[in-house]
Structure 1
Amino acid sequence: MIRSILQQHRSLVALCLSGLLLAWGGAARAAEGPPPGAEVVWELDAYYSNVGLFLPLTQAPIPDLAEQSEAAIYRHLLLTSWPPRFALVELSLNPMPILGVYLKKHQRSFYDQTDFDGFNLVESVTAGFQEPYAATLFFGNVATFVRRGESRLETNKGYMGYLFSVGSQHIKDNVMIDDRWLEAEWKLKGDRKFEDLSHHWSFRLGAKLHENSGIADIAYIGLRRSLLDFQGAIFSWLENSEINLKTDFSLADGRFLGQEVVVGKKFPLRGARLALSLDIGCIWQSASRYAERYREPEDQSFTVVLRPNIEF
């Protein structure tokens, strides 16, 4: 089956191989005279946690864009995206989706008790993540965000470049399906966190191939922006909010296969230095996204999304 996928998507596979060779070549050049700046980066979150090894491929210093505007940061990363100067090897885990799979498989009575006339609370809280874990290689360019007088929090970096991810499992309706998959993305991503501000963004264009013939190969475009500002107005939708959009198309024939729309509100508690957040939205999915053997009689086109969280 993998051979069939490779034959059907030769151009995408060629791009993946080119990226891997370029990253390995840069790493080999760096090994001749290791540049300073290799770093372990990490992020802990209820929905997406990761740890990665950040490697500079040249002697070029990382630019600091801490005090620049949001638009200026995007512009800088876009204009300096080639040639790649940095690589990142990352392992990621999605805790809440894994919990949803566990509850449905091992605590089915509790899982069924959260079902209210076709609306399942556990599925709603854990929806939107189609893999429990992944291994990723990124290569591209990076900027860092350092504010004078503050110790750096978390990664505090912006990335612009190309990602190749792999995994061996797929999640549908809180059920784990065996599926080796390959994903390639162009991505503009960043995490800028200071004592009074937490700003995250992700703009991406990509494709995902599945070894399991029961899951459709897709192309997609996605946007996510999240901003928590302890100095901003609590009820401001610009300063303390989140938006997440993703649209899927079939790689086979271009058909529209899915749409995710999620918006969120953050409520900063300045004294406690944390914020309560609640994301709500929906995910629409075409029946043709999966083969008939993976469709359940109660499958619905729409899934309500409800994601409570606490941000520190």
Structure 2
Amino acid sequence: MAQRIQEAINIIKMNDRGGYTVPTNQLYPYQWNWDSAFTALGIWHFNKWRAWLEIMSLLDGQWQDGMIPHIVFRHNDPDYFPGPAIWDTNTEPPTSGHSQPPVLASIIWRFVQMGTDYDKRKAIEVFPKLMAYHRWFSNARDPNNRGIISIIHPWESGRDNCPDWDIGMQNIVIPGNLERYTRRDTSHVDSNQRPTQDQYDRFITIVNFGRECDWDSQTIYANGPFLMADPGVQFIFLRASRDLLAMAHHLEMDLAVDEIKGWVEQVEAGSDFLWNDVVGGYCARDLRTGQFSDAITNASTLSFFADVGSPEQRKSMEAHCRRILSASAFGMPSWDPDHQA
């Protein structure tokens, strides 16, 4: 085990770019939102100061409206597409135009639980930014207060190429005048392991829509080409809000408590929207058409992480978990191995 831990530390150090880490050396050469959060959790175990620097550098990219983008572009790497010029968010530092699963509050709460007064002081420092981030998710991705956290791009889910998104992607109209572009991902990875060109055209169509409306979240929610509810983002936001509430109590941030409770109660109630009676589990759902995905995924099982569901729903999800794990060499797989598609 000690050898494995050292190997992990070596990989993290290899991906360190001085103040932030990259997920991989070439395919993903920038700072990614939830990658940095999870990496910070690993770094914390051997260098607290550097772990908090990872968090602070990520928060440097936070928008004025509270969003923490899914990519912070620290430089312009011509070997990556779509780069900062394509997103054109007019921010400093340059960033992408949407977010990623909001794990950050849960990670920081772990720091506080495991740590010392140093971690508590740092948590107090970033607490207003965490509040702004969760407030943004509530306002921008659930503007109708239904308790259903939406995603406006498959990349916002963190499960970029999952078949869950096919039902939303199929309704995207690729404009005939879509500007030609050169993909970079297939120069680093076997093209058979990457999205098709048609899928990528749809990805870029979504990005172009966001850029053309200056990344106005209300316009994107109302009229954007893609809008789905994702169990992963839904349940991660709910759990992170529960953790943020626990942190608020611990740090004596009493003025924040009622607002956070409101998010928890609303999203907990809204989670039933994702329950697919036919499948007997939580599934992704298109918010434009109401159509369900019909597969249990690793995101579905995050219902346990979020602590949601009736006794009957939990029993059904537990049965799915046991079935899938018994059919898998490693768990939890991103897609149900018994699915017929």
Same fold (TM over 0.5): no
Question: Which structure carries more strand by proportion?
Answer: 1
Higher relative contact order (CA 8 A, sep 6+): 2
Return the TM-score normalized by structure 1.
0.23
Question: Which structure carries more helix by proportion?
Answer: 2
